[in-house]
Each structure stands twice: as C-alpha cells, then as structure tokens.
Amino acid sequence: MNRHTLLAAAVAATLVLAGCQADIGEKSAPKQDPNAAALVAPATDDDAAWKAYLGQVIGQNMDGVTERTFNYYLPAGTDPTEEEGPYQRMKADVNAALLRTVLPGNMLTFSSPNSTMMADLVVAAFEGEELEEDALKGSRVLFIGESKDESRVRQAALSVGAEFRFVEVKR
C-alpha cells in the first residue's frame, strides 16, 4: 500500500470510531419521552397487575445496566414474622448476595404493594458488620415504593456502595 491509501484508511477509521463514540454517548443518557404517560400503580393488591406495572417501571430504569436485574417482590399479604416464610427467605437471599458482593452493572429492584414492609426488608438485609462497604459498587438499587420509606432505603443502599434510584408509587 502506498502512503495515500494508508492515510485514507486511517482517516476513515477515525471517522468510524468517532461516530461510534457519539452513538455510545447518546445511548448512555436516559431519554425521557415527553409524551409518555406517567405510570400509575394498581389500586388493588392484585399480584398480576402489580407485576405488569413493575415491569414497566423497571424497564424505564434500565439505562446503564449492562448485566442482569434481580427483582425482589413481596405480595401485600406477606407476613414478615412467619418463620421460613417468603419475607424471611427473601431477606436471607438478599443478605447472602451482598455477602458475596454483586458485580458491577447489575441492578437489584425492590418493590411491594406494602412499601414499608419492603423497606424494612431492605434495611434489615443490608445491615451487618460482615458486609463490605463496596458490596454493590457499580451496581444499582431501585426502590419502588412510597416517599416515606425512601430515605432509609437510600441510606442502606449507599452504605454498601450502590447507586440508588427511587420511583414513587403513584396510585
């Protein structure tokens, strides 16, 4: 190859790479559709309706997630005091995941028609002296609940190095 051909190839490669970088930058910023209707949570405790609603909310918060999502959902009628019940099992599962640490790029979502119960679970599962400060570094915690529960879940998530997002349930 002569110099002119090499120079032309280098210029073409530079332009292609610059175009790729522009696309990457555009994709990393979340785009909000101004015409999209605000999501409204189900007025009942119907699990199917809640799961459909939560799927939409989670989908709107996927920007920057490069790995898996781990969705933790508790039905409204769950009894937190039931030994070996869903609440206790989920709390143990979340705590075990944090002890192993969660790889960057993952997202953990927490939601329930009973926001306070789910907030209690998150706070309890994220406690413990054995947890590392950066157990969720590079990962996201998405809490879908009521504003009265946001600050304590935020504090729990930030204490283990997570990025925290909150979506208020609007009924």
Q: What is the pLDDT of residues 125-156, one digit of tens each?
A: 998 778 889 999 999 999 999 999 999 999 99
- Please name which of 160, 90, 77, 165 lies closest in space to residue 120, comparing C-alpha atoms: 90
pLDDT of residue 39: 87
Q: pLDDT tens digits for 53-88?
A: 999 999 999 999 999 999 999 998 999 999 999 999
What is the average per-residue pLDDT within 8-29?
39
More confidently predicted of 89 and 32: 89
More confidently predicted of 44 and 171: 44
pLDDT of residue 92: 94
Collapsed DSSP state (helix, strand, coil) of residue 162: coil
Predicted confidence (pLDDT) at residue 20 exceeds the cutoff of 50? no
Least confident window among 17-21, 67-71, 77-81, 157-161: 17-21
Backbone φ and ψ for 37, nearest 5 degrees, come out as -75, 145
- Is residue 52 within 8 A of residue 58, CB to CB? The reply is no
Q: How far apart are CA 41 and CA 14, in angstroms?
A: 48
- Is residue 121 within 8 A of residue 81, CB to CB? The reply is no
- Is residue 43 within 8 A of residue 171, CB to CB? The reply is yes
Q: In the chain, what percentage of residues exceed pLDDT 70?
A: 78
What's the predicted TM-score (pTM) here?
0.78
- Is residue 58 within 8 A of residue 109, CB to CB? The reply is yes
pLDDT of residue 101: 87
- Is residue 165 within 8 A of residue 61, CB to CB? The reply is yes
More confidently predicted of 68 and 24: 68
More confidently predicted of 10 and 89: 89
